[in-house]
Homo-oligomer: A and B are copies of this chain.
Amino acid sequence: MSTFKAKIYVTLKPSILDPQGRTVERALSHLGQQASGVRVGKYIELHMEGERSDVEARVQDVATTVLSNPVMEDVRWELEGA
């Protein structure tokens, strides 16, 4: 049994409009900073205990079914720890 730290990144699918990102882009432009393609997503950290293969399966399950909406969002994750 080890404790793993999972880092989960949730982003809107490229084909989905991101109004929050557009707003950030315009705000930056008003401040004199030119940026394009701004997309705002979520970054989730959590800890889980267990064997690596077991934790990988549980993180995959949680990331795809609870923490993201597979219709609109992509999710990727990585595990850190012994």
Contacts and interface: CB of A to CB of B under 8 A. Distances in A.
A71 interface: no
B45 A41 contact: yes
B41 A62 contact: no
Given A24-B67, A33-B62, A62-B33, A41 B44 contact: yes
Q: How many copies does the complex hold?
A: 2
Interface residues of A, number: 32
B39 A24 contact: no
Contacts of A58: 33
Interface of A: 5, 9-11, 21, 24-25, 27-28, 31, 33-49, 58, 61-62, 66-67
9 contacts: A24-B44, A25-B46, A28-B66, A33-B61, A33-B62, A37-B45, A40-B43, A41-B43, A41-B45
